[in-house]
Amino acid sequence: MNTAKLRNIGPKSAAWLRQVGLRSREDLEAVGAVDAFMRVKRAGFKPSLNLLYALEGALLDCHWQDVPEDRRGELVNAAEAAIALLPPPRNRPAAAPVTTTQMADTEDAAPAFNLFDEPAGHEAD
């Protein structure tokens, strides 16, 4: 049975699972719902918690809405713990934005340097 035939798993979810190497019920059983969800997430897709419930429902052979509430809580806690261990996304700055501070002009301040100024002792032609 391929992932397209698993209960609760639609074409988009099946494609995500195939792209992360999960192609059968046996593959899904071997890793479990949370690890399968995390593989999809680490691959750069943006799965919702519904995928997590759908994966568990596929393993239990029930509709994803019939996954018991306490089990859903366990799944969410496990997924959140795994998400917390992920490295920060690369498209976000690692630190706060850089700000520039302007100093007030004073008599003691060094003259401003202009990149287009000629070095000292050299006259422009």
What integer pLDDT is reported at residue 1 of this predicted model? 47
What integer pLDDT is reported at residue 13 of this predicted model? 95
Q: What is the pTM of this model?
A: 0.68
Res. 102 pLDDT band, cuts 50 70 90: low
Query: What does pLDDT average to over the chain?
Result: 82
SS (H, E, C) 5-59: HCCCCCHHHHHHHHHCCCCEHHHHHHHHHHHHHHHHHHCCCCCCHHHHHHHHHHH
Checking if the pLDDT of 79 tops 90, the result is yes
All structural domains of the chain: 3-84 (1.10.150.20)
Task: State the average pLDDT over residues 106-110.
Answer: 58
Checking if the pLDDT of 97 tops 80, the result is no
| 16-53 pLDDT, tens digit each | 999 999 999 999 999 999 999 999 999 999 999 999 99
What integer pLDDT is reported at residue 90 of this predicted model? 72
What integer pLDDT is reported at residue 105 of this predicted model? 59
Pick the range with the lowest mean pLDDT from 44-53, 67-76, 88-97.
88-97
